[in-house]
Amino acid sequence: MSLLGDCYKTVRQRSEAICSPLQTEDYVVQPIVDVSPPKWHLGHTTWFFETFILKPYFMGYQEYNPDYNYVFNSYYETVGARVIRTDRGNLSRPTVQDVYKYRAYVDEAMFRFLAEEPSAEVKELMTLGFNHEEQHQELLYYDIKYILGHNPLFPAYDAGYASPKIEHLLAADFISMPEGIYEVGFEGEGFSFDNELNRHKVYLNAYEISPNQVTNEEYLKFINDGGYHDFRFWHAEAWDWVKANKIEAPLYWHLIDEQWQNYTLRGLEQLDLDAPVTHISYYEAYAYASWKGLRLPTEFEWEAAADKFKWGKSWEWTESAYLPYPGFAKAPGAIGEYNGKFMVSQKVLRGASEGTPPGHSRPTYRNFFHPSMRWLFNGIRLAR
Amino acid sequence: MSLLGDCYKTVRQRSEAICSPLQTEDYVVQPIVDVSPPKWHLGHTTWFFETFILKPYFMGYQEYNPDYNYVFNSYYETVGARVIRTDRGNLSRPTVQDVYKYRAYVDEAMFRFLAEEPSAEVKELMTLGFNHEEQHQELLYYDIKYILGHNPLFPAYDAGYASPKIEHLLAADFISMPEGIYEVGFEGEGFSFDNELNRHKVYLNAYEISPNQVTNEEYLKFINDGGYHDFRFWHAEAWDWVKANKIEAPLYWHLIDEQWQNYTLRGLEQLDLDAPVTHISYYEAYAYASWKGLRLPTEFEWEAAADKFKWGKSWEWTESAYLPYPGFAKAPGAIGEYNGKFMVSQKVLRGASEGTPPGHSRPTYRNFFHPSMRWLFNGIRLAR
Amino acid sequence: MSLLGDCYKTVRQRSEAICSPLQTEDYVVQPIVDVSPPKWHLGHTTWFFETFILKPYFMGYQEYNPDYNYVFNSYYETVGARVIRTDRGNLSRPTVQDVYKYRAYVDEAMFRFLAEEPSAEVKELMTLGFNHEEQHQELLYYDIKYILGHNPLFPAYDAGYASPKIEHLLAADFISMPEGIYEVGFEGEGFSFDNELNRHKVYLNAYEISPNQVTNEEYLKFINDGGYHDFRFWHAEAWDWVKANKIEAPLYWHLIDEQWQNYTLRGLEQLDLDAPVTHISYYEAYAYASWKGLRLPTEFEWEAAADKFKWGKSWEWTESAYLPYPGFAKAPGAIGEYNGKFMVSQKVLRGASEGTPPGHSRPTYRNFFHPSMRWLFNGIRLAR
Amino acid sequence: MSLLGDCYKTVRQRSEAICSPLQTEDYVVQPIVDVSPPKWHLGHTTWFFETFILKPYFMGYQEYNPDYNYVFNSYYETVGARVIRTDRGNLSRPTVQDVYKYRAYVDEAMFRFLAEEPSAEVKELMTLGFNHEEQHQELLYYDIKYILGHNPLFPAYDAGYASPKIEHLLAADFISMPEGIYEVGFEGEGFSFDNELNRHKVYLNAYEISPNQVTNEEYLKFINDGGYHDFRFWHAEAWDWVKANKIEAPLYWHLIDEQWQNYTLRGLEQLDLDAPVTHISYYEAYAYASWKGLRLPTEFEWEAAADKFKWGKSWEWTESAYLPYPGFAKAPGAIGEYNGKFMVSQKVLRGASEGTPPGHSRPTYRNFFHPSMRWLFNGIRLAR
């Protein structure tokens, strides 16, 4: 089989491996609008290859089920009506088994299609398809954790799940970065998303950035110091959010018999004080930094210093809004909807997380979420 | 086995028989707040026997899982915290198989418990438990139809499902009922709910009531005459509801290529013009009657004439609000929450539906729903 | 001037007298959707005479301002588009002075019109117009109290305002009423609303009804006994309402330095323990009765006994839903929208209040509000 | 009188001059949450001087009314509880006359206080107070226009109101700006807000910027080309906003008898095709640019070129998110809440508007609003 075929197989199998510990019912539910049912992820990533590769490029390909276009489309307004996002968890059909059949059908067609060397244009789309499915693999981790972690029975995803360890450099000094012109953005061989292009110059003032992420122990001090009850540390919009949602701690933290418990993929556990704090919104990251008398780095400060610290356990909130780089242009057609249309009201995160597929991220990678989002694997690195 | 044991077995098996055509995924979802996931009905009715019979009366009974009390409680505030109603469809666990295991465990204990003749008090609670589970059997039909009928793939529940036929008496005259004192409410042997008690006198003016329910063909005339666009036929509250929800036809009707299709438990079908109209709110029933220059009967007019016409295919909206009968008193404890606490802002329906278990209803039976509800099997009978 | 002209003058002047203690700004605001700005009441009642008398019956009448039809129409869908109810408090124009000019203009035209004896049909409409304006006079009291009573400065409406005294018969026995057929509803000379017609027979079981309304002191016992925190006394819908709105006491009660203060039309005062409790919802009236082991009377029980007790300080919640009487028929045209379209989801109140114009109410009078409404002058009379 | 006293007088009189064409009622209402009643602006700006100058610095000053602190506080959480923003339009008291008395009282005290030369610290606070009141003067224009322009009678604010003319350079070429390091931000003598500090270097790629703002005629082409109905031009969040709010044109445009009318401060007028388009959200500005194949400038591109074009008729949306400049620090205490807490989810606008007080703006001035806001005087300048 071709290298492209191998890549395809690896990517596709990884999605199914992530879901392998699930019960059928776990594939179906959608407890909040930001979460998608796992079976939807499995169907949607398959629909992507069917819609953008097989239907336009594989002569004689027979669409599996035209109704699936309706069910598994996500935001691609170009491609036609879609099930509204809030309704994904209301759909018992197609069943999980139906979705796996759909995957097998499309995979089989893809392998036949890849028997011949595809054009450069198709290869580019394939690579986008791989990276797209890898993004959904990361979302699968977020969504599965939310589905199980918000069930009153607190079931484990995998009792033996081991999250990667990040070494902390005790009492390490902040890294000093000199004032000057830096180059940021992607350039060179290999895949990047359109939002990382083009490589361009930025001017940075001198700054310092921490080699470590903030730990649960440090964050607990903020809580114990009344950080969630003192408006001075919060944006006005954040303060409204804290009060409206009665936020008192990171997501998945539970104060039980005066002990902090934390829901992990292994189930409910005592809070690990040494681990980096995670599942906090940008609002909380900012408030924590504010309480410390420090600040979050911008995405360019982060990128310029990224080879000087270890990253990769959880995405790190930056102070930067998600905006187009100089010269940014949307691709034509439905593919063009990929990134550009989210470039308002979002904050950039940099790094990667324990849910990120190997090789998926890089120092120029720009992840982005609304500042209130907490269900992703995220964290805090401070600057000054 | 005892007669009580036979009854128990019959009731319990019927719930499972209703669910037998379902896929695992169909048991899990909750597309609107009024619908409960089928697995919740199966668990909740089991929890009822465990909580009100086994735990208080069966010495040495070992509770199956204390957390289930949290998951399967419904409105019984007395019994402790509960999963809020809107969250039922967010729970992937307990799985469907877990729920069936729970049923088997409780059933086995119940059979052991029933080996000895229970007290009169327990027998009364058992009978309430049977009737409670029968009510949920009816709800199972409503909810399953909603779950499948709101899926874009329109799957059939059972391709061979045959709904009972009701003979229509063509051009039949209205039945005349003389002015006078009538007795209404339940009295005598056998089970009744507390809301049917006590039998008491009411004074009715002379009235006439139709021997037939309104058909789809008749209702279509109302639609085609612009009934949904003329505020004069509607209550003020109903008119707001029509406009806010853009209501244009009964639930499950779809105008496809200028033909009216109707989702039934067999799937999408051409609208049967001769069948009684169903899945309309009280608001629509009232508006239809108003357009006809007629009115809905009160629940007492209905009851007084109930032996003069055929009923039982779908519950019939009445003009009566759901209020306590003279001398109504709640039972003490959690059981007392059964009916009384809903006696505000609801309308009474009389009769029965094709989803009603055999023998469950009777002429004094009072069903009740909020006037906007359409997912139940209901219908219209006119009076003047 | 004619008798009709005198009546007209009296009614019209009374509306303006009620508003005379107001500042211009008090005429404008609408703190909740149920409250209308006083200037709207003054304009709307004027619009009623202009629209239903002057325009159809007074040859050559020149409409004051066609745009006012848009601004001062209320629910009369027949008559054309209207400012939506929630927007009334957003309109700074027409100004208060403009509205008084409009009143003067219409009044002047009405006096010219009444120089000749009008037809019986017009007289009937005039009488409806008087009663309509009197209903708005009562609403003016409710709305003014709400506007001033929800201002953080707690301004008095009239520092010398004296509410009528109701004698309480200390420890008086309940009044016993025998079982049997009673006649209810309006019959005879004089004005009645369509919802009081026709006089008809009802069958009542034996009952007892209190000669007194519940006092603040009695209601305080319910509060102090934890009545607002015990779901057993409440309807399910009411319990949700209590929790969602954090209801702890009647409207206008304020616990300040551990003393109950009550906002009255004279300003904030110490709670008068002997006065009848008022500004409670039906939900609270029911919960109080439930806590007492008693119940509210039906509207027919109230009417049948109304000559045996004193009423008139505040409308009394009954257990009855607001439904049409036998033979009820809407008047044709816009006037027909008057009452019938509210006959769903409302509760009947009987009696009158201190805000009711003299002679406006009678024992057959049916007032009605949604069970959650508290800003009207209402109260509790118990039955058993 | 001192220079400071003269400035004070000028600023204070200008607020009252803006309100002089209003009727009492116009001062009171709040049709949407973003609008504040004019009397609130008059009271709040007065409260600012009383709270931050008179009370802490003027020995023996007698607070006018402690309750006003509650009514006229805005966002200053430090200073105590406040009337929630949505409630401002529900307050009939203090009356307009009361507010003018409050202004006179505080002004009189201020003049006495200014008889002696104040400290540098107080002078700085005074200057902030002037700029604060000037910002509210601009808001007064927005709010008054909204209040009158959303009244069904469309009253004019001032029939003779003349908005400043901006010359358009017909078919003018875009201005070319070379790549390189630019300095942005405020430095030097005179007042600036904390969000303009510090002056710092940014690196800009080569860009071109239009010397003209987009006109109504140009914008009309976007409308006529279906711009509001083609998702490709819109951010995902913007597209949801367009559909949810049924947006079809700028605020204040009305299509009447197939002619575009525009509400101006002179009343409803035929749309002036040559005037710059205004009252559009950032979403619309972006969509327009997208449809044109161009883009909005960043705030730094705007600032670097600001001396090359005329600006000042309406604030111009930029692509930049409102974020802190390098070295930004909040002032201590309540004054520190001024700007920093809004630095999330807002877009920067640059320039000034016809409602901006003379001398209030400058090229480094940063205005900011949520991207959906349309009631401010804003506009579009394109870049590429």
Q: Do C75 and B323 touch (CB under 8 A)?
A: no
Residues of C in contact with D94 (CB under 8 A): 153
Q: Which residue has the higher pLDDT, A315 or A78?
A: A315
Q: Which residues of A217-251 are buried (b: 16+ CB within 10 A; e: fewer)?
A: ebbbebbeeebbeebbbbbbbbbebbeeeebebbb
User: Quick one: average pLDDT of A165-177?
Assistant: 80
Per-residue pLDDT at D349: 98
Residues of A in contact with B83 (CB under 8 A): 152
Choose among D94, D158, B173: nearest CA to C29: D94
Per-residue pLDDT at D70: 83
- Three-state SS for chain A is CCHHHHHHHHHHHHHHHHHCCCCHHHHCCCCCCCCCCHHHHHHHHHHHHHHHHHHHHCCCCCCCCHHHHHHHCCCCHHHCCCCCHHHHHHCCCCCHHHHHHHHHHHHHHHHHHCCCCCCHHHHHHHHHHHHHHHHHHHHHHHHHHHHHHCCCCCCCCCCCCCCCCCCCCCCCCCEEECCEEEEECCCCCCCCCHHHCCCEEEEECCEEEEEEECEHHHHHHHHHCCHHHCHHHCCHHHHHHHHHHCCCCCCCEEEECCEEEEEECCEEEECCCCCECCCCCHHHHHHHHHHCCCECCCHHHHHHHHHHCCCCCCEEEEEEECCCCCCCCCCCCHHHHCCHHHCCCCEEEECCCCCCCCCCCCCCCCEEECCCCCCCCEECEEEC
Contact flag for B and D (3+ C-beta pairs < 8 Å): no
Tens digit of each residue's pLDDT (9 = 90 or more) over B319-340: 999 999 999 987 766 676 678 8
Q: In this structure, what DSSP letter does residue D59 have?
A: T
Per-residue pLDDT at A226: 97
* H or E element at residue B47: helix B38-49
Which of D295, D326, D336 lies nearest to residue A205, judging by beta carbons? D326
Per-residue pLDDT at B82: 55
CA distance A326 to A349: 19
Question: A290 to chain D nearest CA, in Å?
Answer: 10
Tens digit of each residue's pLDDT (9 = 90 or more) over B347-382: 999 999 999 999 999 999 999 999 999 999 999 999
Residue A76 reports pLDDT greater than 60: no
pTM above 0.90, yes or no: yes
CA B187 to chain centre: 22
Average pLDDT, chain A: 93
Q: What are phi and psi of C245, to 5 degrees?
A: -100, 5
Q: Which residues pair with D317 in a beta bridge?
A: D349
Q: Which residues pair with A322 in a beta bridge?
A: none
Inter-residue contact A238 to D344 (CB < 8 Å): yes
Which residue bears the tokens 């002997």? C274
Per DSSP, the residues of D63-105 read -S-HHHHHHH--S-GGG-----GGGGGG---S-HHHHHHHHHH
Question: D341 to chain C nearest CA, in Å?
Answer: 27
What residue in A sits closest to B26 (Cα-Cα)?
Answer: A92
Inter-residue contact A235 to D343 (CB < 8 Å): yes
User: Quick one: average pLDDT of D171-200?
Assistant: 94
Q: Do A200 and D205 touch (CB under 8 A)?
A: yes
Per-residue pLDDT at D302: 98
What residue in C sits closest to B297 (Cα-Cα)?
Answer: C326
Residues of A in contact with D200 (CB under 8 A): 205
Per-residue pLDDT at C330: 75
CA distance D198 to D185: 6
Q: What are phi and psi of C211, to 5 degrees?
A: -75, -15
Q: Which pair of tokens denotes residue D274?
A: 């040559």
Per-residue pLDDT at A117: 94
Contact flag for A and C (3+ C-beta pairs < 8 Å): no
ipTM, two decimals, is: 0.95
Q: Quick check: B297 contacting C, CB < 8 Å? A: no
Lowest mean pLDDT among A2-6, A176-180, D18-22, D27-31: A2-6
Per-residue pLDDT at B176: 97
User: Quick one: average pLDDT of D237-258?
Assistant: 95
Per-residue pLDDT at A338: 73
Q: Do A232 and D78 touch (CB under 8 A)?
A: yes
Lowest mean pLDDT among B29-33, C329-333, D174-178: C329-333
Residues of C in contact with B238 (CB under 8 A): 344
Residues of D in contact with C94 (CB under 8 A): 153
Residue D35 reports pLDDT greater than 80: yes
Question: A74 to chain D nearest CA, in Å?
Answer: 12
Q: Quick check: D94 contacting C, CB < 8 Å? A: yes
Q: Do B371 and C319 touch (CB under 8 A)?
A: no
Residues of D in contact with A286 (CB under 8 A): 344
Inter-residue contact D55 to D35 (CB < 8 Å): no
User: Quick one: average pLDDT of A247-271?
Assistant: 96
Question: D112 to chain A nearest CA, in Å?
Answer: 34
Inter-residue contact A70 to B152 (CB < 8 Å): yes
Q: Tell me what percent of the residues of chain D surpass a pLDDT of 70.
A: 94
Q: Do B93 and A30 touch (CB under 8 A)?
A: no
Question: A77 to chain B nearest CA, in Å?
Answer: 18
Contacting subunits of C (3+ beta carbon pairs below 8 A): B, D
Q: How confident is the model at residue A329 (pLDDT cuts 50, 70, 90)?
A: confident
Q: Do C67 and D25 touch (CB under 8 A)?
A: no
Tens digit of each residue's pLDDT (9 = 90 or more) over B147-166: 999 998 999 999 999 987 76
- Pick from D341, D370, D384 the residue to mutate for testing the A interface (most A CBs within 10 Å): D341
Choose among B247, B249, B197: nearest CA to B224: B249
Per-residue pLDDT at D73: 84
Per-residue pLDDT at C338: 73
Tens digit of each residue's pLDDT (9 = 90 or more) over A114-161: 999 999 999 999 999 999 999 999 999 999 999 999 998 999 999 999
Task: Taking the CA atoms of B344, B347, B352 and B357 in sequence, report the sign of the dihedral they define.
Answer: negative
CA distance D95 to A184: 58
Choose among A356, A373, A279: nearest CA to A33: A373
Per-residue pLDDT at D339: 81
CA distance B18 to C320: 39
Q: Do D23 and C153 touch (CB under 8 A)?
A: no
- CA D354 vs CA A125, D142, D159, D276: distances in Å: 50, 11, 16, 12
Q: Which pair of tokens denotes residue C15?
A: 């509306």
Q: Quick check: B283 contacting C, CB < 8 Å? A: yes
Question: A277 to chain B nearest CA, in Å?
Answer: 26
Tens digit of each residue's pLDDT (9 = 90 or more) over B258-314: 999 999 999 999 999 999 999 999 999 999 999 999 999 999 999 999 999 999 999
Q: How confident is the model at residue A75 (pLDDT cuts 50, 70, 90)?
A: low
Q: How confident is the model at residue D329 (pLDDT cuts 50, 70, 90)?
A: confident
Task: Taking the CA atoms of A55, A61, A62 and A64 in sequence, report the sign of the dihedral they define.
Answer: negative
Name residues of chain C where pLDDT drops below 50: none
What residue in D sits closest to C154 (Cα-Cα)?
Answer: D93
Inter-residue contact C383 to C296 (CB < 8 Å): yes
What residue in C sits closest to B345 (Cα-Cα)?
Answer: C345
CA distance D9 to D103: 12
User: Quick one: average pLDDT of D2-31?
Assistant: 96
D327: left (phi over 0), alpha (psi -120 to 50) or beta: left
Residues of B in contact with C341 (CB under 8 A): 234-236, 239
